A and B are shown apart, each in its own frame.
Chain A
Amino acid sequence: MSMFEGLKFRRVSSPIHDLDPRVKFLYVIIMFAIAVMYMELIPLIMLFLIQLPLVMVAKVTKQWIKSMRGAAFLASIIFFTNFIFSYLYRGQQELPFILEYSMAMTLRFIVLVGSFSIFFLTTSPDHLGLALEKSHVPYEFCFAFTTAVRFVPVLAEEAQTIMDAQKARGLELEKGNFLKRIRNYIPILIPLIVNAIRRSLELAEAMESRAWGATKNRTNLYELKLRMGDYTLILLTIIILILAIYVRLYVPIPRITEIFP
């Protein structure tokens, strides 16, 4: 669960939170592309370091570290599979290289998770819906999407309350064999589903009473507009991309073992 904790948006104000979600998404995609371009450790370390000032400016360091910790388990799996398989393939002589290679693969994953985490930590579901709308996704789908995101924490909390209520009636979730354990969840799932359906009907009524869908051309309270900060981030991202492509094509990248033999 702690991995998802790092994807949960919190309403803080920072220059990064104010950026256009489309620009942030572009940034994430380009980080993704660069991470896939390289297999060497040094450029990936640099790519990782690029993320840090962004996290700091966004004031989400604590949550970001939490999501990184959540990713640690998967990262260690990636490290060990890479290590074991290249070891079997290449043998003992190249141990330092194998170590570096496995670390690079792990770091690539961490960079991906890290940049995605920045995106989700600093983008409110409303902004995300707005960005989808601007990208010509039909409004009904955008609305469904933002509502779904909006209700995840509500459902999680409700599930916890229901679990407590049934435990108080002597339900033991961890008791019995495998099939029995699955059946133990029926008393939790039924109230959860019934309440979710009931709530969705109420939501539909509330929406209709507020004239949802009355006008074809909706206007928004907040308009997404590219501002100074957005252009700066676009520029920075493109510079990093060009640099990365140039280095990939023309600059030989040393291994760490070659620098510190």
Chain B
Amino acid sequence: MIEVKDLYFTYPNGVEALKGISLNISDGEFVAIMGQNGAGKTTLVKHFNGLLKPSKGKVLIDGADTKDVSVATLARKVGFVFQNPDHQLFCETVEEEIAFALRNFGFKENVIKRRVTWALNLLGLKNYRKTSPFMLSGGERKRVALASILAWNPKILILDEPTIGQDYNQKEKLRQFILQMKAQKKTIVIVTHDVEFVAECNPRVILMSEGKIVADGEARKILTSPGILEKASIIPPEISRIFLELSDFGFPTNVIDVYEAGGIILDFWEAKNR
């Protein structure tokens, strides 16, 4: 459970990045935080594992104030995957890379071995166990970074821009993976601009603009409201734009799923031909 109470945050250089954020994320929820560059998305999620401490207000993780707990302690519960894997990879082998955090948290050697194998299998990195992470491709490095966080099985998972620079296949794998984590009752928070990806995942969407939350609700409702999206410089997913244009023909305007859209069009076609 993540509770944010009237959070304000000002960077040391005087930029006020968050202006009064209040928000609750329950256990097992899947949330996408969206908004334009500089809206404060990353700043907000950096409060969830204590990397940043509130200037004013409170952030509680399972009831514990982040001000009172160290990042290392919080990290055990809150896994944070950074946007750029190159900011964290440093070991000689992928295996060592994944074991790094486990050693920091003081796991036993035999447990570490088991968990590393588990994480490697989970993300399809089995064959790279002894490879240097610097020799891998961009997508693979991103997966190593993800595996290195998942290895300790955190209860809350934060992914900062997970889809940037990934091809469709990788994105689809990531989506499957997130759904799998969701089925295991993990709390997942993603920070992204990728509307199409969010439309396919259909999570709860929190829309931010200039350090404030401008909308909070189901993806289906928010991604199909051009007025609200415009405030955050986001355009609706393509399928919703088509349906918004076709509203004159009596099509519903709240469609974000391609399969659902296909069904509606086929029904419409059949009704017309009859």
The residues of A with any CB-CB pair to B shorter than 8 Å are 158, 161-162, 164-172, 186-187, 190-191, 194-195, 198
Q: Contacts A172-B104, A187-B100; is A167 near B72 (CB within 8 Å)?
A: yes
CA distance A198 to B90 in the complex (A): 14
Residues of B in contact (CB 8 Å), total 25
Max chain A C-beta neighbours (<10 A), residue from B82, B90, B100: B90
CB contacts (< 8 Å) of B101 on chain A: these are 169-170
In the complex, residue of chain B having the shortest beta-carbon distance to the beta carbon of A193: B90
Q: Tell me whether A168 and B71 are in contact in the complex, defined as CB-CB below 8 angstroms, given that A161-B82, A194-B134 are known contacts.
A: yes
Inter-chain CA distance A164–B72, complex, in Å, is 11
Task: Give bound CA distance, A40 to B41, whole Å.
Answer: 57
B51 touches A191 (CB 8 A): no
Q: Is B166 interfacial (CB 8 A cutoff)?
A: no
Within 8 A of A (CB), among B53-75: 70-72, 75
Main secondary structure on A side of the interface with B: helix
Inter-chain contacts of A166 with B (CB < 8 A): 88
CB distance from A146 to the nearest CB of B (A): 23
8 A Cβ contacts from B77-99 to A:
79-80, 82, 84, 86-90
Asked if B71 contacts A165 (CB within 8 A), the reply is no
Residues of the A chain whose Cβ atoms lie less than 8 Å from the Cβ of B71 = 167-168
* Neighbouring B residues of A195 by C-beta, 8 Å: 86-87
User: For residue A164, which residues in chain B have a CB less than 8 angstroms away from its CB?
Assistant: 46, 51, 82
- Chain B 222-238 per-residue mask, 1 if CB under 8 angstroms from chain A, else 0: 00000000000000000
Asked if A191 contacts B49 (CB within 8 A), the reply is: no
Cβ of B260 to closest chain A Cβ, rounded Å: 37
* Selected A-B contacts with CB under 8 Å, 8 pairs: A162-B88, A167-B71, A167-B72, A168-B51, A168-B75, A169-B88, A194-B90, A195-B86
Q: Which 6 A-B pairs have the closest CB atoms?
A: A170-B104, A190-B90, A169-B101, A168-B80, A165-B88, A165-B82
